[in-house]
Amino acid sequence: MIGYLRGVVVDRPSSSEVVVDVGGVGYRVTVMPSVLADSAVRSELELFVHTHVREDALVLFGFRHADERRCFEAVLGAHGVGPTLAMAMLAALSPAGLSTAVLEDDLDTLCQVPGVGKKTAQRLVLELKTRLDLPDLGGSGPTSAPAGGRAEVRAALGELGYGPDEIKVAMEAVEDQESVPEMVRNALRELARMR
């Protein structure tokens, strides 16, 4: 399995693909529009890769960040979702935006993705809560955060794949008097705004 590539872009054969030369071998990789826009021929490119194996093909999907690849794989694992729809979801929503939509049962945001209707959005919310390892934000109504609330939020963001620098910036958007679930939501909103 190929999990990471770093090389030079030698071709852009379609509106969703690049060919990356890594040590004399050209890898054809499907990427999101944002990656393609920043990938001129002869520029260096670093991608976290998901290798998708089908009966008739081996397809590489490339992402700028490991959390994007992780979200892609989580969405791809949901019932009835193929790689095209998973890529469309990540093109429309950042990992933080997707996590926030799932946490808040925000079907309207998910339905803005081409190919996602209300029933698909409902199924995705149910499946992605476990696939994305999101914290359980249920409970018996709002309560103030316990003394270790900030630590719980940092741990939840770490489990979602965010790095220390991202977590530090996101924690500036949360207030101690909020409940832990609200702190997580606000941190994810801040992360979505940053991307």
What are the structural domain ranges in the chain? 4-63, 66-131, 149-194
144/4: higher pLDDT = 4
What is the predicted pLDDT for the residue at 195?
Answer: 64
pLDDT on residue 136: 52
For the chain, the average pLDDT equals 84
Q: For strand 58-63 and strand 44-53, is the pairing parallel, antiparallel, or unpaired? A: antiparallel
Q: Does residue 91 register a pLDDT over 60?
A: yes
Distance from C-alpha of 91 to C-alpha of 101, rounded to nearest angstrom: 15
Identify the band that residue 95 occupies on the pLDDT scale cut at 50, 70 and 90: confident
What are the angstrom distances between the C-alpha of 163 and each of 66, 126, 131?
A: 10, 26, 19
Which CATH topology does 4-63 take?
A: OB fold (Dihydrolipoamide Acetyltransferase, E2P) (2.40.50)
**Separation CA 47–CA 61 (nearest Å):** 9
pLDDT value for 185: 82
Q: For domain 66-131, give the CATH number.
A: 1.10.150.20
Predicted confidence (pLDDT) at residue 138 exceeds the cutoff of 90: no
Asked if residue 160 has pLDDT above 80, the reply is: no
Confidence at residue 142, expressed as pLDDT on a 0 to 100 scale? 41
